[in-house]
Amino acid sequence: MVGAPTCAMACADTGASQSVRAVPIMTTGLPASPTGRKSPPVPVRVRHVEDIGAYMRRVTLEGDQLRFLPVGQPTGHIKLLLPVNGEVEPTLPTMTAEGPVFPDDRPVPLVRTFTPRRFDPKGETMVVDFVNHPGGATSAWVRAAKSGDRAAVSGTGRGYQADPATKSFVLGGDESALPAVGVLLETLPASASVQVLIEIRDEAARVDLPERRGATIEWIVREPNAPPSQALHRALRGAHIAEDSRVWVATESGAVRAIRKTLIQDRAIAPDRVVTRGYWKVNVSNHRDGDYGHDPD
């Protein structure tokens, strides 16, 4: 039976009892794919796990149905579905006109948003880099992940469509933005210069980023007990940003709002040249994926 779609995905991992089973796999505001179609989640298994930094773990997922997912635009996100309550694999929904519907007799999976660092539909693999942070349900799954573990993936969502005429890009973010920054370094127009500013918790949080001619990378270490991305904000306030640059920033939701305001109001960068994304929010589990840092949150 299809319930009224009033239950947000956030209730999926709280263990709260639910009578409502219509759960948005891709929240409204972002289409499931560049074509706007909802893509059903497909089952995957962990092929390989490796640490690529002190706080970043790379997981290679494989599954023969990955070939059915659209590749999407650079930085376009996926939804990762994980099993809960001791289940071996996540329950998959049936796609209906009302949205994805889960069976009444199985637990709704944990659902979170990530960036495919690499996606090879023909090779049926997807690589996802996860930040290890305290208190995260996905973080806990990733810490224990091993070859053969089951999950599911849907997407990919709309990403960053770079203007080919742009001569210089400025990319800012925290550790959660590193996968997207890696993708952008590989895909932004080859003729453009790229200036990257990344806030990290300490020096050990650095990861290797793709090499690119004309790119500079500045690692900014957060001061002890400072709010997330305060140091990134300060660095962007003082950075040289040419009038015709385009700026992309993804970090904590509150911080990204302050950064956006500084870029547009104080640095006088045209709003249509600034893309901001709230990738997570302090003290909020499963922060929404459609946070563009514009509105009060």
Binding site for ligand FAD (CB under 6 A): 77, 112-115, 129-131, 133, 135-139, 176, 179, 277, 279-287, 289
Of residues 169 and 248, the one with the C-beta less far from ligand FAD: 248
Minimum CB separation from ligand FAD for residue 27, in Å? 10
- Distance, in Å, from the CA atom of 29 to the CA atom of 52, rounded to the nearest integer, reads 32
Count of alpha carbons within 13 angstroms of residue 30, beta-carbon side: 28
- Contacts (Cβ under 8 Å, ≥6 apart) of 169: 162, 184, 188, 192, 193, 194, 195, 245, 246, 247, 248
Q: How many CB atoms lie within 10 A of CB 63?
A: 20
Minimum CB separation from ligand FAD for residue 62, in Å? 18
Helix axis angle, 253-261 to 230-238, nearest 10°: 20
Minimum CB separation from ligand FAD for residue 1, in Å? 29
Minimum CB separation from ligand FAD for residue 90, in Å? 14
Kindly give the residue spans of alpha helices, DSSP state H, lying in 148-251: 178-187, 230-238
Cα 12 to its chain centre, rounded Å, is 19
Which residue number places its CB atom closest to ligand FAD? 136
Query: H helices then E strands: how many in the chain?
Result: 4, 14
Count of alpha carbons within 13 angstroms of residue 263, beta-carbon side: 33
- Listed residue (3, 275, 284, 262) closest to 158, CA to CA: 275
- Distance, in Å, from the CA atom of 26 to the CA atom of 76, rounded to the nearest integer, reads 12
- Distance, in Å, from the CA atom of 105 to the CA atom of 25, rounded to the nearest integer, reads 19
Of residues 26 and 241, the one with the C-beta less far from ligand FAD: 26
Of residues 133 and 244, the one with the C-beta less far from ligand FAD: 133
Q: Which residues of 168-206 are buried (b: 16+ CB within 10 A; e: fewer)?
A: bbbbbbbbbbbbbbbbbbeebeeebbbbbbbbbbeeebb
Minimum CB separation from ligand FAD for residue 233, in Å? 16
Of residues 114 and 119, the one with the C-beta less far from ligand FAD: 114
The structure tokens listed for 66 are: 């990955």
Of residues 137 and 217, the one with the C-beta less far from ligand FAD: 137
Of residues 74 and 93, the one with the C-beta less far from ligand FAD: 74
Minimum CB separation from ligand FAD for residue 266, in Å? 26
The structure tokens listed for 130 are: 């996860």
Of residues 149 and 289, the one with the C-beta less far from ligand FAD: 289
Of residues 33 and 176, the one with the C-beta less far from ligand FAD: 176
Minimum CB separation from ligand FAD for residue 60, in Å? 14
Minimum CB separation from ligand FAD for residue 50, in Å? 15
